[in-house]
Structure 1
Amino acid sequence: MKGKPMKKGASKRLTPKQRAELKSLASLRDNAIDTSDAPEFLDWSGAKRGLFYRPVKQQLTLRLDADVLAWFKSHATSDEGYQTRINRALREYVQQQVSRGRRSRA
């Protein structure tokens, strides 16, 4: 489903019973919660940072030079489209500028 827009839908409302259960759980002290069925996980070697992070996107119209756009389109893959690559290139540029600004102020 990569590349297809996600449909925004309304979440189902909690039932009064579910609300009451959440309220009672929230009032428990940490040491009163039984976590024996959830052992501590110590090996994070296969973890992927930012896997579920989805920054807020804003739609806009942007004019780019035809050759620049052609380059990004020609380097698109089935895993990553040209717009994603353009966004990543812009983000890397912004991060470089921010880090340069920090160094020049120090």
Structure 2
Amino acid sequence: MPAIPPKPYATELQRKLRGLLGHEQIVTQAYGRHLLIKRLDDEEPTVVARLTELARNRYSAAFRSHTGRWEPLPGTGSLDEMAEVVVTLLQPYLQPDNY
């Protein structure tokens, strides 16, 4: 069975993150089996975190450190659960005025 295209999941994640954060300065992008989470800044969007699909509706999360490495966040869960983990742990980095 072929994998389900990730675009609808990227749109769903973006809607969920914007609702949790209370602003529209977040965009998501499907990239292979990852869903990139980007903060919109004045210049280019900045990649802050990503969700990686482990199985159907099961994701892990990681954030991009200042060195450019991906550092794992704790836990795995559904898209909604991991959106909440990302917002809880990375909220300061997901705010539009936090450069």
User: TM-score under structure 1 normalisation?
Assistant: 0.21
Structure with larger Rg? 1
Bigger share in strand: 2
User: TM-score under structure 2 normalisation?
Assistant: 0.22
Bigger share in helix: 1
